[in-house]
Amino acid sequence: MKPNSPPAWSQRLYLRLAPYDVAMLRFLIEAHDNLAYVTIVDRFSAVAKISYAPGSEKAVRRFLADAGETLRLEVLAIGQTRRKE
C-alpha cells in the first residue's frame, strides 16, 4: 500500500432493528459526520449493514451503544468487505 492511500478494506457490522427505526438510524449516522454508511440487507426483517472506515470501530460501537438507548437494535455479526478497485 502506498503512503496516504485509502485502505483496501472497510469494516462492517450487521444490525437487526425495528422496521420503523431504519430511517432514524440513517438520520443519526448522517448527523454524526457520516460516521458510517447504511445499507438495508433485508427490508422485511430490518437487517442493516453498517460499513465504516478501519480505525473507526470504537466510534461506531460507541454511537450504536448511545443509539441503542433510543432505537431497538441488535448487532448480528462483524466482518470485512473488500473495496472495489
> Is 37 inside any structural domain?
yes
Claim: this prediction has a pTM higher than 0.85: no
Q: Which domain holds residue 69?
A: 20-73
- Rounded CA gap, 31 and 33, in Å? 6
> Is 25 inside any structural domain?
yes
Task: Tally the domains of the chain.
Answer: 1
Strands 9-17 and 47-52: antiparallel
- Rounded CA gap, 56 and 16, in Å? 20
Q: Are 52 and 10 in contact (CB under 8 A)?
A: yes
> Is 10 inside any structural domain?
no
Q: Are 16 and 74 in contact (CB under 8 A)?
A: yes
> Is 78 inside any structural domain?
no
> Is 5 inside any structural domain?
no
Question: What are the pLDDT tens digits along the chain (85 aa)?
Answer: 566 776 667 888 999 999 999 999 999 998 888 899 999 998 888 899 999 988 888 999 999 999 999 999 999 865 544 444 4
